[in-house]
Amino acid sequence: MPIGSGIRAFAITEQVDETPTIRTVRLDGSMHAQPGQFVMVWVPGKDEFPMSISYPGERFGITYKVVGEGTRHLSIMKPGERIGIRGPYGKGYSIEGRNILIVAGGTGMAALAPMVEQAVASGASVDVVLGARTQSELLLRKRCERSGATLHITTDDGSDGSKGFTTDKARVLLEVGVYDMMYACGPERMIVGLLQLSRTTGVPMQASLERYMKCGIGICDSCAIDGKHVCVDGPVFSHEVLSKLSELGRTRMSPSGGRIPID
């Protein structure tokens, strides 16, 4: 139901615990979007924030980690309660090639899960590296296994799959395999590591970036990085663009507008 300024109201149908810290909220309407596009989620009376569309189509959904007030309030909302949604916004991933490597770190799998399914459906051979700090935080693992992609697990603490980072596993796969394109979403230090691998192996890459966002439509400048607006020029960027971003992996804008180092 439209409620002004392009915001539509959706009732929550269910909240599903994906990991001890990450939940999926399913909504009573549809959202058709490219993998990697996002929506602005308005939690009435609290906050509005960007979220990737982890379940596009009917009964669409977003998969979120509780970070601050907005996501905390969303996490305690019950079926039947309503939130506001604007979007879909931004440029998503474009599926290219027959041999694809997808690298997801932490909540990055929320943006990449529809990409995995569409890439497999396109007939491509798909390797997925899914990484998390520990086994219980591996996100959407079963969905990924069901998709028909080949899954490679990494955990920082070695509790499942290979001990180490997603970039370590991606390096091994890139050394032995032949890939047409690499797709990534996750912590910015992971994106920086993969960009280096893209340079050395010559495998092109598309990666989604996260920046603090207020408007989502290219007006407020909150998400600017080297003159690009993550909300409209991204959030998915090609390796050519990523290579020119001097702020990548170094600084981001804080909610108050100052530059702060990336963790």
Ligand X SMILES: Cc1cc2nc3c(=O)[nH]c(=O)nc-3n(C[C@H](O)[C@H](O)[C@H](O)COP(=O)(O)OP(=O)(O)OC[C@H]3O[C@@H](n4cnc5c(N)ncnc54)[C@H](O)[C@@H]3O)c2cc1C
Binding site for ligand X (CB under 6 A): 38, 47, 49-52, 62-65, 67-71, 107, 110-111, 210-213, 235, 254-255
Question: Minimum Å distance from CB 175 to ligand X?
Answer: 30
What's the Cα-to-Cα distance from 108 to each of 1, 7, 178, 185, rounded to whole Å?
29, 25, 24, 5
Question: Minimum Å distance from CB 106 to ligand X?
Answer: 9
Residue number with CB closer to ligand X (112 or 203): 112
Helix (H) or strand (E) holding 236: strand 236-238
Residue number with CB closer to ligand X (47 or 168): 47
Nearest residue to ligand X, using CB?
Answer: 68
CB 36 within 8 A of CB 90: yes
Residue number with CB closer to ligand X (52 or 167): 52
DSSP conformation letters of 51-118? EE-SB-BTT-EEEEE--SHHHHHHHT--TT-EEEEEEEESB------SEEEEEEETTHHHHHHHHHHH
Structure tokens at 128: 């997925």
Question: Minimum Å distance from CB 43 to ligand X?
Answer: 8
Identify whether 235 is preceded by a cis peptide bond (ω within 30 of 0): yes
Calpha distance 230→245 (Å, rounded): 12
Residue number with CB closer to ligand X (125 or 208): 208
Residue number with CB closer to ligand X (203 or 231): 231
Question: Minimum Å distance from CB 71 to ligand X?
Answer: 3
Question: Minimum Å distance from CB 152 to ligand X?
Answer: 22
